[in-house]
Amino acid sequence: MSDVVSVEVDGGIATILLDRPPMNALNAEVQEALAAAAVEVGERRDVSGVVLYGGEKVFAAGADIKEMQHMSYTDMVEHSGSLQAFTRTLSRIPKPTVAAITGYALGGGCEVALACDFRVAASNAKLGQPEILLGIIPGAGGTQRLTRLVGPAKAKDLIFSGRFVSADEALAIGLVDEVVEATDVYDAARRRLAPYVGGPAQAIRAAKEAIDRGAEVDLDTGLEIERMLFAGLFATRDRETGMRSFVENGPGKAKFEGA
């Protein structure tokens, strides 16, 4: 894949690993590599779920400030599009995704985690959007995804102050979904994805799209999105398999092929 991001697949679960020591700072090279990895795992038929992992010590401690320090307004007008594009690509992986968070997930690192469906954090992890301390605001989706996840008041608290939150506080406000010991973060992320391996891939993809797209529109539009995706699943073999198995053998016994 690249020197800073790699993809490994084991047992139907892909791991996208950030590897830019010491803090996995998200420079342009890392952003591009993450987007490419997201496209790859989204297209692979042998992948049912995806873990984003920064290693045992740190998830990602934000954007590369040295890279941005000397950018002008016109430079950032051009760069800001790609800054949002890589997290948008991560969020649109058509499979369940989990951020396995160790150490720091700050700024752009927190925004990468926010682009995932679920977040598992180490008990000693720290999360936050400290961009305000640099005189700027989050620019890779933080103001929008954080608000949708924890609500406007909590998002404003974190973004206005730039403060870091502990794993326990992150769990309490809904920023993460599970807190485990640091040594168990990666395994816990895989356990969260295990139920989807061998599942009806097209139905899971449709469910994710309906939820994510529906959250961005009014209720009537969201219901229409759901209706179209629901009807479309009647063209899949997994729908035939699932209903036949239910009628003949009862619920939960179908063997899906992902098509």
Active site residues: 111, 131
Length of the chain: 259
| Token pair listed for 160 | 């206005």
